[in-house]
Structure 1
Amino acid sequence: MSENSTAAGDAVRRVRNSRAVRGLARGGYVASGVLHLLIGWLAVQLALGQTEGQADQSGAFRAVARMPGGEALLWLVAVGFTALALWQLATAVVGVPNAENQVAARAKSVAKAVLYGALAVTGVRYAQGSGGGGSGSGSEESLTARVLAMPAGAWLVGAAGLVIVGVGGYHVVKGVRKKFLEDLVGTGGSAVRPVVVRLGQAGYVAKGIALGVVGGLVVAAAVTTDPEQAGGLDEALHTMRDQPYGTVLLLVVGVGIAAFGGYSFARARFARL
C-alpha cells in the first residue's frame, strides 16, 4: 500500500513539474490578467455611470465573448485556468515547498484549485454561448437564501462573510507588506522590476477592499436574515459607488483591480512554479 502511495505521489509530482503543465499554468495567470483588466475597466465604467453589464467575472467573460475571436480566446482562458487548477491540486497532494505549515498550505492550494476550476468552467460555458443565463448577484442571493433556511443558517452565512472579510484583509496586508513577492522567482522577487512591485501592491490592496465589501454584504444578510442583502463583486462595487465619495473610491479600486491584471501578466513570467 505504501509503495502504491509512493508511486502515485511520484506520478503526481512528475505531472506537476512537467514543462507542459507549468507552461499552461503560466498561461492561466495571463488569463487572470485579462479578466482583471476587464473587471477594472468595467468598475471604472460603473463609477462614470457608463456601464451596461456586471462589473465582475461574469461581465468580464461576457466582454471577452463579444470581442472578435472571443470564442477562441475563451477556450484558451479555460485551458489556462484548468492547468492552474490541476497544478494547485498536484501541489496539495505532493506538498508545498518550504511551507512551515503544510496543512494550511495544502488547504490554500485546494481552495485555489476550486477557484481556478470554477473560472475554467465559466470560460467553457461562455465559449459555448451558454454562460449568460442568469445574474451573478441573483445566484449568490439564491445560495444565501438556501443556507439561511438551514438550522443555524444565519450563523453559517455570518461565518462565511467573516471569512471573506478576512481574506480581503489578508490581500490588503499582502499588498502593503509586499508578501506577494514570495510567490515570484528570485530572492524576495528580486528578479522583477519596481513597476511590477507597484502593480502588485495596488492590485492586492484594491482586491482586498472589494472582497471586504463583499464579505460585509454577506454578514449583513446574516444579521438581517435577508438574502437580498448578499451579493457578489458587482453588488459590492455598486454599494461602494453609492457611498459618500464613492465614485472616487470606485475609480481608485477599479484602477487597482486593473493593476492586478498587469501584475498577473508579470506573474505569468515570474511565478514560482
Structure 2
Amino acid sequence: MGSLQSARDGAENVEDAAEDVAEHPVFQTIARGGFVMSGLVHVLIGVITLRMALGGSSQEADQSGALQAVASAPGGNIVLWIGGIAMAALVLWHLAEAWFGARWKRGAAKRIGHVVTTLGKAVVYAALAATALRFAAGAGTDSGQQTSQLTAGLMGNAAGRTAVVVVALVVFVIGCHHVYTGASRGFEDHLRVPEGQQIARAIVVTGVLGYIGKGIALLAVGLMFGWAALGADPEKATGLDGALQAMAALPAGGVALAVVGAGLILFGLFAVLRSRYAPVM
C-alpha cells in the first residue's frame, strides 16, 4: 500500500507541475504566438488562392506554398523558427487543455467530446509546426505530392482504401463543422471579448466569414479524397492545393476560389485576434 500511495503522490506532483507550466505567463504568451503564426499561414494561403482565381499564381495554395513564401522573404527563416516553436507550444497547451479542461465538464459525453476536439486541434497544430520547422531548416517538401504518395500506398489494399474513405469523411465532417461554427457564431463561446467595443464586431465578421470560407475549402478536400478512393486514383488526393485547382476548373470556379480565398484571409485575421482574446487555461 505504501508504494502504491507513493506512486499516486508522485503522479499528482507531476500533474501539478505540468499544470503550473501550462499556466505560466511566459508559456501562455508563446502559445498565443502559435495562433498568430497559424493566422499568417491562412492569410498567405488565402492570398495565393485569390491570385489563383485571377489566373496569376504558380504557388501551391496550401501550407507548403504559404511557408515557402515566408521562407523566401527577408528574415523568413527566423519567422519560421519562431512560429514553429510557438505552434509547438500551442500543441502542448492543447494537450494540457484536453487533460485539465475535461475536469470541468459535466457528464462523460461532454468530457469525451472536449478531449477528442482538443486533441484534434493539437494534431493540426503539430503538423503545421513540424512543416514550419522543416522549412526553417531548409528541408521543405511538396505537401500535395506527399499526400498523393501516401494515398497511393494505401490504395494497394482494401484496408488502405477504407482508411482513405474514413479520412475523406473526417475532413468532410470537419468542413461541415467549420461552416456550422461560422454560421452559428459558435466560436464566440471560446473567446473573452469585452462587450460594446469595435473589436467585437471585427471578431464576429472575421469569425463568421472565416470559418465558413475555411469550411468550404475543407469540404472540397474531403470530396477530393472521396473521389480518389472511389476511383482508386491517388493523384486526385493532393490536399488543399489540388482541391482548389479542381474547383477552379468548374463553371464559375474563379468566383468560388475568390470566395474561399477571402474566407481564408479572414480566418487568418480571426486567428490573430483569437491570440489576444482566447482564454489560455
Is 2:138 the partner of 1:129?
Answer: yes
Over aligned residue pairs, what C-alpha RMSD do you find? 1.7
Give structure 2 stretches of 5+ with no counterpart. 1-6
Is 2:240 the partner of 1:233?
Answer: yes
* Residue among 166, 169, 182 paired with 1:175: 182
Distance 2:94 2:196 in 1: 24
* Residue among 218, 221, 224 paired with 1:217: 224
Match of 1:19 in 2: 25
Distance 2:102 2:49 in 1: 35
Q: Show CA shifts across 1:230-260 (max 9, x none).
A: 1211011111111111101100110110001
Distance 2:216 2:81 in 1: 30
Going from structure 1 to structure 2, the CA distance change for 1:190 and 1:12 (only over 3 Å counts) comes to farther
1:190 Cα offset (Å): 7.1
Match of 2:129 in 1: 120
Is 2:161 the partner of 1:154?
Answer: yes
Is the 2:98–2:118 Cα contact (8 Å) retained in structure 1?
A: yes
Is the 1:160–1:218 Cα contact (8 Å) retained in structure 2?
A: yes
Is 2:90 the partner of 1:78?
Answer: no
Per mean C-alpha deviation after superposition, the further-off stretch among 116-125 and 169-178 is 116-125
Going from structure 1 to structure 2, the CA distance change for 1:266 and 1:152 (only over 3 Å counts) comes to same
Q: Show CA shifts across 1:66-103 (max 9, x none).
A: 11111111111112111101101112232346445112
Question: Given residue 115 of structure 1, which amino acid in structure 2 is its aligned partner?
Answer: V
Is the 1:12–1:93 Cα contact (8 Å) retained in structure 2?
A: no
Instruction: Give the share of equivalent positions with the same residue, in percent.
Output: 37
Going from structure 1 to structure 2, the CA distance change for 1:190 and 1:9 (only over 3 Å counts) comes to farther
Distance 2:96 2:157 in 1: 34
Q: Show CA shifts across 1:7-40 (max 9, x none).
A: 2221121111111111111111111111111010
Is 2:281 the partner of 1:271?
Answer: no
Number of matched pairs: 270
Per mean C-alpha deviation after superposition, the further-off stretch among 122-131 and 151-160 is 151-160
Equivalent residue runs for 1:201-212 within 5 Å: 201-212=208-219
1:219 Cα offset (Å): 0.7
Give structure 1 stretches of 5+ with no counterpart. none
1:59 Cα offset (Å): 0.4
Question: Given residue 228 of structure 1, which amino acid in structure 2 is its aligned partner?
Answer: E
Is the 1:199–1:259 Cα contact (8 Å) retained in structure 2?
A: yes
Distance 1:210 1:239 in 2: 11
Question: Given residue 32 of structure 1, which amino acid in structure 2 is its aligned partner?
Answer: S
* Residue among 71, 75, 78 paired with 1:69: 75
Greater Cα radius of gyration, structure 1 or 2: 2
Q: Show CA shifts across 1:49-77 (max 9, x none).
A: 11121011100000001111111111111
1:224 Cα offset (Å): 1.2
Going from structure 1 to structure 2, the CA distance change for 1:223 and 1:22 (only over 3 Å counts) comes to same
Q: TM-score, normalised by structure 2?
A: 0.91
1:182 Cα offset (Å): 1.2
Equivalent residue runs for 1:40-59 within 5 Å: 40-59=46-65
SS of residue in 2 equivalent to 1:167: helix
Distance 1:227 1:139 in 2: 11
1:204 Cα offset (Å): 0.3
Distance 1:29 1:155 in 2: 33
Question: Given residue 265 of structure 1, which amino acid in structure 2 is its aligned partner?
Answer: V
Question: Given residue 124 of structure 1, which amino acid in structure 2 is its aligned partner?
Answer: L
SS of residue in 2 equivalent to 1:233: helix
Distance 1:97 1:57 in 2: 34
Is the 1:12–1:94 Cα contact (8 Å) retained in structure 2?
A: no
Match of 2:4 in 1: none
Is the 1:9–1:93 Cα contact (8 Å) retained in structure 2?
A: no
Q: TM-score, normalised by structure 1?
A: 0.94
Is the 2:193–2:200 Cα contact (8 Å) retained in structure 1?
A: no
